[in-house]
Amino acid sequence: MNKSIGIIGAGIAGLHLALYLQKHGIEATVITDRDPEDVASGRLMNTVAHHSVTIARENALGVNHWDDPDLIYHHHDHFFNMPDGPLLFRGAFKKPSRAVDYRLYLPALMRDFTDRGGRIEYRTIQENDVAGIVSRFDLLVVSTGKGPLGRLFQHRPEHTPYSQPQRLLCVGLWDGVDHGAPGQADPRGVTLSVSPGHGEMIVIPTLTHDGMKTALLMENVPGGDMADLVSLNHDADPAAFRQTILDKLEKHHTHTYNRIDTHRFGVAGQQDVLQGAVVPTVRQSSASFDDDKCVIALGDVHSVVDPMMGQGANIASYAAFVLGQAIVESTVFDARFCEVVDQRREDRVLAASRWTNLMLQPPSEAMGRLIFSMSQNRELCDEFTENFNHPERTWDNLASEKRIHAWIDSHMAQQAA
């Protein structure tokens, strides 16, 4: 049977699905509002790290253009700026992760898709265009990110306790931060830095148009000492912006501050600052249209998570593969099809959301014990790190206080033995 699939949106969700279907001989049409040149020359969109499960999917699609040992990183360093002295400990991945600026990544995948014969239509879709597009295809997928088309899918408040952002973001690509390098005594890694009560900062070595830079993803607590960075205007006074960031890092994120070469420290390029906030949101997996047709939500349209735990793009890619596989297997794309897809991807998608939401709260007594135990037990911390690939396993370990204590106890017993 010839199947024709429409995909609105060319982020990682839409592109990984389109490339998966193309690989399996299924006709997919992508409809999106920005062409590769627009994306490449635009403002920083995010600072995404792909974990090894996502890199494996890129290999399967034949789109891993960044398979270079110079780009990858192997571990997370955790730094807690505690009043009675800093806590610093490391957890390692079994296989490395990697961050490539999406202004390089997405255009490359769009070109891969069209070079292999795929069709991309460039236009902006409004909500009232959707019914007409549904009738063109056997199945329509909406993967337009955080924008207004998400309203097609009902909000599920039972899965998202928040109606407000929990962090105010100040994100940038910077020169002058040492993040280690292959062959150095301290190899390349990501730092997860915490200033209790004020927020977190994720420090990510990232490949950009201009080579390796350092992404500083500051996740600042509303009302905390760093909250105002969300509206500090870089373009109005770059020198004042830089100095304010330096002062805040010295006070709250000293582990990273100590790795800055102040002579070279500065925003990498004009378009390399992103400020704003994310409201964590889970929506229904699909919406019904006439003739028993349904439209499927994919990626951020389905579930938006705060970027703190680096899950949104990784689960979008996972969900794209689950959906792609279901499309390959099916001949009927009705409500039952949507239900099956929902069940297959829900555990990981919801686990990523629940885990991230938990981490946005001040630590409970059990989470406090976990942090301290990870600083004392390398295997425990390695498992926590590796499970960035498998958020459902993390949620198995963290879903209740009882589970957290049981997980720590099992590692402590092994260590004692």
Ligand X SMILES: Cc1cc2nc3c(=O)[nH]c(=O)nc-3n(C[C@H](O)[C@H](O)[C@H](O)COP(=O)(O)OP(=O)(O)OC[C@H]3O[C@@H](n4cnc5c(N)ncnc54)[C@H](O)[C@@H]3O)c2cc1C
Chain contacts with ligand X (rule: CB under 6 A): 8-14, 32-34, 46-49, 124-125, 143-145, 147, 149, 169, 171, 217, 299-300, 307, 310-314, 316
Tokens at 330, concatenated: 């099916």
311 in Cβ contact with 391 (< 8 Å): yes
**Shorter beta-carbon distance to ligand X: residue 13 or 229:** 13
**Shorter beta-carbon distance to ligand X: residue 215 or 404:** 215
In the complex, the smallest distance separating the C-beta of residue 336 from ligand X, rounded to whole angstroms, is 25
Tokens at 400, concatenated: 């209740």
**Three-state DSSP class for 354?**
helix
112 in Cβ contact with 22 (< 8 Å): no
In the complex, the smallest distance separating the C-beta of residue 38 from ligand X, rounded to whole angstroms, is 8
**Shorter beta-carbon distance to ligand X: residue 143 or 193:** 143
* Euclidean distance between CA atoms 300 and 352, whole angstroms: 12
Amino acid identity of residue 222, one-letter, is: P
**Three-state DSSP class for 334?**
coil
**Shorter beta-carbon distance to ligand X: residue 319 or 380:** 319
* Euclidean distance between CA atoms 226 and 252, whole angstroms: 9
**Shorter beta-carbon distance to ligand X: residue 134 or 149:** 149
Between the CA of residue 249 and those of 198, 218, 224, 309, 363, what are the distances in Å? 12, 10, 14, 20, 22
* Euclidean distance between CA atoms 286 and 148, whole angstroms: 15
Angle value at C-alpha 296, between 290 and 300, nearest 5 degrees: 140
Cα–Cα nearest to 134, from 216, 273, 34, 29: 29
In the complex, the smallest distance separating the C-beta of residue 9 from ligand X, rounded to whole angstroms, is 3
Residues in the chain: 417
**Shorter beta-carbon distance to ligand X: residue 149 or 398:** 149
206 in Cβ contact with 99 (< 8 Å): yes
In the complex, the smallest distance separating the C-beta of residue 412 from ligand X, rounded to whole angstroms, is 30
6 in Cβ contact with 141 (< 8 Å): yes
In the complex, the smallest distance separating the C-beta of residue 11 from ligand X, rounded to whole angstroms, is 2
In the complex, the smallest distance separating the C-beta of residue 13 from ligand X, rounded to whole angstroms, is 3
Per-residue b or e along 367-385, where b marks 16 or more CB atoms closer than 10 Å to that residue's CB: beebbebbbebeebbbbbb
358 Cβ neighbours under 8 A, 6+ residues apart:
367, 398
**Shorter beta-carbon distance to ligand X: residue 49 or 322:** 49
Per-residue b or e along 22-54, where b marks 16 or more CB atoms closer than 10 Å to that residue's CB: beeebbbbbbbebebeebbeeebbbbbbbbbbb
**Shorter beta-carbon distance to ligand X: residue 12 or 201:** 12
**Shorter beta-carbon distance to ligand X: residue 55 or 404:** 55
β-sheet bridge partners, residue 121: 31
Residue with the two structure tokens 């979008």: 316
Instruction: For the chain, state the CA radius of gyration.
Output: 21
In the complex, the smallest distance separating the C-beta of residue 222 from ligand X, rounded to whole angstroms, is 17
**Shorter beta-carbon distance to ligand X: residue 345 or 411:** 345
In the complex, the smallest distance separating the C-beta of residue 123 from ligand X, rounded to whole angstroms, is 7
In the complex, the smallest distance separating the C-beta of residue 343 from ligand X, rounded to whole angstroms, is 20
In the complex, the smallest distance separating the C-beta of residue 30 from ligand X, rounded to whole angstroms, is 9
In the complex, the smallest distance separating the C-beta of residue 273 from ligand X, rounded to whole angstroms, is 11
Q: Helices 52-61 and 12-23: crossing angle, nearest 10°? A: 40
**Shorter beta-carbon distance to ligand X: residue 61 or 217:** 217
**Three-state DSSP class for 241?**
helix
